Amino acid sequence: MAVTERESGTELNVQFDERGLVPVIVQDVESGQVLMMAWMNDQALKKSLLTRKATFYSRSRQKLWVKGESSGHHQEVIEIRVDCDQDVVLLRCKSHGPCCHVGYTSCFYRCMEGEDSLRLVEERVFDPEKVYG
Amino acid sequence: MAVTERESGTELNVQFDERGLVPVIVQDVESGQVLMMAWMNDQALKKSLLTRKATFYSRSRQKLWVKGESSGHHQEVIEIRVDCDQDVVLLRCKSHGPCCHVGYTSCFYRCMEGEDSLRLVEERVFDPEKVYG
ipTM for the assembly: 0.96
Q: What is the mean pLDDT of chain B?
A: 96
How far apart, in whole angstroms, are the C-alpha atoms of residue A34 and residue B33?
A: 9
Instruction: Indicate if the pLDDT at residue A94 is higher than 90.
Output: yes
Give residue A1's pLDDT. Answer: 85
Give residue A104's pLDDT. Answer: 97
How far apart, in whole angstroms, are the C-alpha atoms of residue A72 and residue A19?
A: 29
Give residue B1's pLDDT. Answer: 85
| List of chain A residues whose C-beta atoms are within 8 Å of the C-beta of residue B83 | 36-37, 107-108
Give residue B49's pLDDT. Answer: 96
Q: Does A69 touch chain B (CB under 8 A)?
A: no
**Distance of residue A51 Cα from the nearest chain B Cα, in angstroms:** 12
Contact B60, A48 (CB under 8 A): no
Contact A24, A89 (CB under 8 A): yes
Could you tell me what percent of chain A has a pLDDT over 70? 100
Q: Does B118 touch chain A (CB under 8 A)?
A: yes
The upper half-sphere exposure of residue B60, i.e. CA atoms within 13 Å in the direction of its Cβ, equals 1
Q: Tell me: the pLDDT tens digits for B33-88?
A: 999 999 999 999 999 999 999 999 999 999 999 999 989 999 999 999 999 999 99
Nearest CA in chain A to B88: A37
Q: Does A108 touch chain B (CB under 8 A)?
A: yes
Give residue B132's pLDDT. Answer: 86
The upper half-sphere exposure of residue B47, i.e. CA atoms within 13 Å in the direction of its Cβ, equals 16
The model's confidence at residue B91, banded by pLDDT at 50, 70 and 90, is: very high
Give residue B133's pLDDT. Answer: 79
Question: Average pLDDT of A91-112?
Answer: 97
How far apart, in whole angstroms, are the C-alpha atoms of residue A44 and residue B113?
A: 16
Whether B81 and A31 lie within 8 Å, measured CB to CB? no
